[in-house]
Structures are given as C-alpha cells and as structure tokens.
Amino acid sequence: MLKKVAFLFVFAAVTGIVMAALLFALQNPLGQKSNVAQLSYSQFIQAVNEGGVKQVELDSGNLVIGSFHNGGRFATYRPADPHLIDDLLKRNVEISAKPESYFTLEWLLAVFISIWVPMMMQTFILVLRFKQVRR
C-alpha cells in the first residue's frame, strides 16, 4: 500500500512539473530563437511598405512568421487589420497560410488537467486513508 501511495504521489508531482512547463511554453510561443527577429506590428508594416519582406506565413491565430529579402527571418503578432492581405499582395509578398489546427497545445493541456486533478485528489485520499490505518 505504501508503494502505491508513493508511486501516485511521485506521478502527481511529475505531472505537475510537466504541466508547469507546458504553461511556460504557452506564455511565449515565438520562443527565444536568435535567428528570428521579433518585430512590432508597426515595424512589420514598415518593412512591407519598403519592399523588404519576401514571404509571410499566416496562421489561424495572430502569429505572422516570415522572411526578408536579405535572408533574415522575423515574427510578429497581427491585430485585426482588414487591409493586411491587400498590402502584402501590392508589394508582391508571397503569402502562405496554415490551416486551423483543432488539436492545439491548449486543448492538450485541458485534457491533461482533466486527468491530473482527479489523480491528485485520489492520491490525497489514499494518503489520508493510509495515515488513518497506521494509527
């Protein structure tokens, strides 16, 4: 019985650490890649208007990842700009779009939490029962 309780407690602790790491990863989806410049939206639009942007990839969210004509890469977040596509096409920027993903990291995290919370509750119930049996 003690081995089972210890296993469940260790499992719950490890899953808690993994969940914290996932939450941390969600905080900064652009990452800290040194080869990708993080631009403000204003800087991005300025680069488009100056003809420096070669290609962009738009996802179903607000993330824009692209490359400059000089080979550098960039990333930015876009606000709701109804003229963005027109501006990109006027400047002959190659546009690609990623389809909406139904299996996102947020969804995975929600499923993980829905399994983790009951496991933690069961672990604490077993610990309490074990303490009562030992008395």
> What residue numbers bound the domain in which 94 lies?
31-100
Same domain, 24 and 71: no
Same domain, 68 and 42: yes
How far lies 19's CA from each of 26, 30, 112, in Å?
A: 11, 19, 8
Same domain, 111 and 89: no
Same domain, 36 and 90: yes
CATH, residue 62: 3.30.720.210
Same domain, 67 and 46: yes
Whole-number Å distance between alpha carbons of 8 and 14: 10
pLDDT 10s digit of each residue in the chain, 135 long? 567 667 767 777 787 787 777 766 665 555 555 578 888 989 989 999 988 999 999 877 788 889 998 888 998 888 888 888 888 999 999 998 877 666 666 777 777 778 877 877 787 777 777 777 766
pTM: 0.53
- Supply the DSSP symbol for 93: -
What's the number of domains the chain is made of? 2
